[in-house]
Structure 1
Amino acid sequence: MAFDGKIHCPLKLLRPVSEIAAAYVATNHVAVSELPALLARLHAELSRISGQTTGSPTAITKKPTASEIRSSLSHEGITSFLDGRTYKALKRHITRHGLTPETYRRRYGLPPDYPMVSPAYSARRTAISKAIGLSRSQKASIAVHDEQPARRQRKAA
């Protein structure tokens, strides 16, 4: 990387880059010809950490092919395009990376109906809900409640 003599660093990052570079050069031997590359790496890393990337995240991210999208979905889990691990539910995982389901789908070019929960996990949660009676509609719940016999009154003493 050749140094063109111009500073391409936002003022917000100029001070941290220069302080880190000065501290590094003070304790390590660095050739003069390596200083521009060192400054560029420091600037790139600080920009990445602070979220000031020059390109948009969608331009940087590799979009999966249709076959990769199909293979990311299995009955037991959904494979994340962020780290390649399989999850029962992606929402908590992607929010840790600062994404919403909509931005995750947009970032990787996924269809709007791409699931965030695996079919097996969804079926298990549905079975639990039905078992504890959460699947009844309000009307059915009221009808069942009305059909129960009235309790007997206490006898007056």
Structure 2
Amino acid sequence: MRLHGTVRHSGGIRRLNRPQSNGDAEIVRCTARIVMGYVAGNRLPAADLATLITTVSKALRSPHDFEVATATPVIAQAVPKVSYVASDYPRPQVPARLLSLKEIADSVQETYLVCFEDGEHYRMLARHLRLFGLTPDAYREKWGLPDDYPMMPAAHLKHRAELARQRNLGKHDRSTAKPRRKSAITAKTQTRGAEDPPKPKPYSVGLTRGGWRRQGDVGQGASPG
């Protein structure tokens, strides 16, 4: 007789190791499915079948398999509301100082430019200045740079010019252009002819009191013979 996790027998009442519950029945069903799937795909001697069932059942009953890993909750830190510029975090500007001519000259190298805001090297300085909320003109004015201070190194400018030359940018290749149709040329010629002033006629189309008036005649009209 089963009484809340105990079994009564002739020798007295013996407490079970684990109370019988619906979970045990589920473990039995899971054990059967696992063993059947293993036997279907593997060769197993009949003598080892009992050992396999016991091993699977113990594995399913192990409390370690039913433990749920509880992660420590992560407390979200408050992020200050900032406006993002150029898909990156904006950076604070540094106070301006008086630069020497040597510092300005050394900041312009063949392959990079030195930014006075953070001291890093860049090939496209104008794009990087947006992180500080500066335009090229504002950057030049802040640091006392000349008006023609470059925003790209010379090597990068040459590289872009070479790419543009290879792609024939700014040029129109007329050798591969399709010839114009004859109808288009004729229509253009007719349009030009319509714009020309009309040629004088020998006789005007206006009828006067004296009849048809010859072009240039003044006074009495003369009829054409």
Any stretches of 5+ residues in structure 2 without a counterpart? 1-81, 83-92, 181-225
Query: Residue 99 of structure 1 corresponds to which residue in structure 2?
Result: 134
Number of aligned residue pairs: give it.
89
- Displacement of 1:82: 0.6
Query: Residue 145 of structure 1 corresponds to which residue in structure 2?
Result: 174
Any stretches of 5+ residues in structure 1 without a counterpart? 1-48, 50-56, 152-157
Q: Aligned partners of 2:177, 2:118: CA distance in 1, in Å?
A: 54
- Displacement of 1:146: 5.8
TM-score, normalised by the number of residues in structure 2: 0.36
- Displacement of 1:147: 6.9
The residue type paired with residue 90 of structure 1 is L
Q: Aligned partners of 2:176, 2:161: CA distance in 1, in Å?
A: 26
Query: Residue 122 of structure 1 corresponds to which residue in structure 2?
Result: 157
Q: Which has the larger radius of gyration?
A: 2
Q: Aligned partners of 2:179, 2:96: CA distance in 1, in Å?
A: 65
Q: Which aligned runs of 4 or more in structure 1 are off by greater than 2 angstroms? A: 146-151
Aligned-residue Cα RMSD (Å) equals 2.6
- Displacement of 1:135: 3.8
Alignment of 1:107-118 (within 5 A): 107-118=142-153
Which of 43, 58, 73 is residue 108 of structure 2 equivalent to? 73
TM-score, normalised by the number of residues in structure 1: 0.51
SS at match of 1:122: helix
The residue type paired with residue 95 of structure 1 is R
Describe the superposition over 1:15-62 as per-residue Cα deviations: whole angstroms up to 9, x where unpaired. xxxxxxxxxxxxxxxxxxxxxxxxxxxxxxxxxx9xxxxxxx89x411
SS at match of 2:98: coil
Identify the structure with the greater helix proportion.
1
Alignment of 1:1-157 (within 5 A): 60-136=95-171, 141=172, 144-145=173-174, 150=179
Identity of aligned residues (%): 30
SS at match of 1:70: helix
Identify the structure with the greater strand proportion.
2
